[in-house]
A and B are shown apart, each in its own frame.
Chain A
Amino acid sequence: MLQRREVVSRINQKRGDALMVTGLGSSSYDLHAAGDDDRNFYLWGAMGGAAMTGLGVAMAQPDKHIIVLTGDGEMLMGIGALATIGVQQPKNLSIIVLDNGHYGETGMQASHTQFGVDLPGIASASGLPVAMSVTNEAELDKLIEAITAQQSGKGGAIFASIKVAAASPERSLPVVDGVEIKNRFRRTLGLQPL
């Protein structure tokens, strides 16, 4: 089974110039563990908001590429975002769900995906042109190829659900101050605080 830290480390190595937004909890810790970067916007709350935050950046910065990294529970809470993204059809957005089938922050309760709820199916039915389920290294390679292709101008919005082991690696905590996270992210785009 794929391990979340290894998966995120690989995606981070291949991110190119991508800006990244992470959902609260393990996804934020995973990306921080892979390497802190001013281009990372880590959410510490606002559950359900990661995909829409990423869409906002993608719409405002059409020449940049945005990768949203989040968990299955976080994605499920804002599942309508896939319909909204399906309407907008951003060519520069990838939504990657690290699906461990659990609410990891709260005691590892089973999430809907363990009962057969099919996140790539929802993404595909919402009109996202690429919707993948990733369960092994070969499929992870394909996802990274799709992200690279999107960055070279081929293909539209990407959705991927990566099945990862339900492990809880040691927390790797990014800065918690939201104003700091916002300002350092914006500075990478040449945007100064008001």
Chain B
Amino acid sequence: MSQVTAPKNNPKNSWGADLFALLKRHDVSFLPFVPDAGHADLIALAQADNDMQPVVLTTEEEGVALASGHWLGGKKSVLLMQSSGVGNTVNMLSMLSNCRFPFVTLVTMRGEFGEFNSWQVPMGRATADVLRAMGLSVHIVTEEDKLVKTIDAALYAAYSSDQQVAVLLSQQLVGRKEW
């Protein structure tokens, strides 16, 4: 195998373990994801866990349909994606409001705060509006001490009353991608 250099943009997040513990407390069974550095800890923790299964997707709208299927079968999932992926999900999100499926997605932001790559900016700027236009409640977290509390509220709202909630993890929280 060829030697690879560890990516600089993959810091260990201080909140990863707390967030994972929260998802366990809420009995989340599946973590469908299109990978992002900001979600790396959660994905790694789920891979090592017997009761939470990460599911790698080719594109984010797969995760919306998959989460709907999980709930049809009585299980909870949380979709992990990057803000650029929100654009891929738009029509599939119609399933959530039509069927009133409970739904939680954690979106790590790009193109939003101190972005170096201008190609990330248009979708980053549109992310919250797109999600709201499709009927989701959107919570934006910019400070670490609000993160677990906000996601706890999102999971509670979704799985106690069939709500659809997106939690956006600001670049202020996730950190700037360094090159």
Contacts and interface: CB of A to CB of B under 8 A. Distances in A.
A49 B61 contact: yes
B72 A46 contact: no
Contact of B75 (A48, A49, A60): A60
A45 interface: yes
B57 to A, nearest CB: 6
Interface residues of B, number: 37
A47 B62 CA distance: 11
A81 interface: yes
A178 B95 contact: yes
Nearest to A48: B61
B99 interface: yes
B111 interface: no
A135 B162 CA distance: 43
Interface in B61-78: 61-75, 77
Interface in A78-121: 78, 80-81, 83-84, 87-88
B98 A56 contact: no
B139 to A, nearest CB: 20
Interface of A: 21, 41, 43-61, 64, 78, 80-81, 83-84, 87-88, 178-179, 181-182, 185-186, 189, 191, 193-194
Nearest to B58: A80
B92 A49 contact: yes
Interface of B: 29-30, 53, 55-59, 61-75, 77, 91-92, 94-95, 98-102, 159-162
A183 to B, nearest CB: 9
A81 B99 CA distance: 21
The 6 closest A-B pairs by CB, nearest first: A56-B69, A60-B73, A80-B58, A49-B65, A178-B99, A52-B65
B100 A78 contact: no
Contacts of B74: 60-61, 186, 189, 191
A178 B98 contact: yes
A54 B70 CA distance: 9
A81 B58 CA distance: 7
Given A54-B69, A80-B59, A84-B55, A59 B75 contact: yes
B62 A45 contact: no
A56 B67 contact: yes
Given A44-B98, A84-B56, A55 B72 contact: no
Q: Which of A21, A44, A46, A57 has the most CB of B within 10 A?
A: A46
A49 B99 contact: no
Contacts of A181: 99
B62 A81 contact: yes
Contact of B73 (A45, A57, A81, A87): A57
10 contacts: A45-B98, A46-B64, A47-B91, A50-B65, A80-B58, A80-B62, A81-B58, A84-B56, A84-B58, A178-B95
B155 to A, nearest CB: 13
Given A45-B94, A84-B56, A84-B58, A52 B69 contact: yes
A106 B99 CA distance: 24
